[in-house]
Structure 1
């Protein structure tokens, strides 16, 4: 990874913090809304709550959002490791190629 200036570090830190805060807000809204939906579906409609369907669908979206923020987001350690492996693989391939 290239050396970052203090301004670049500050911008990256703000961007990553905003992405994480967005996920935490998403997770909070998910819990509150799904608790409400579950309560309404259980008490208004009886024994078979239909609320499991939005819970699972939205939960998948929340999980994918978390993967994007925490694993694949700019500056994440997982992404850096993948990039480094790819750079190393490309360097090895380039060294094996005959020079004209």
Structure 2
């Protein structure tokens, strides 16, 4: 009986440690199940202060406004929203 209680106590302690470690990784580390560029960039101007973040979207069809497309073009790597490289994204859909 003592062995069973000892095994349960060790198992519970290990379980608590595991989940405590998982919580710390969520706060301080990069999670592997997110998109490749899922970090939150700081907006460069007050007009772009909405809660946009680089979440892996790259095309104009995935945007919902010119403001959002402009944020992605300025802050996120690998976007494909400025075909003529003039600095204005999604000219046919959002920023015309």
Q: TM-score, normalised by structure 1?
A: 0.33
TM-score (norm 2): 0.34
Q: Which has the higher contact order (CA 8 A, sep 6+)?
A: 1
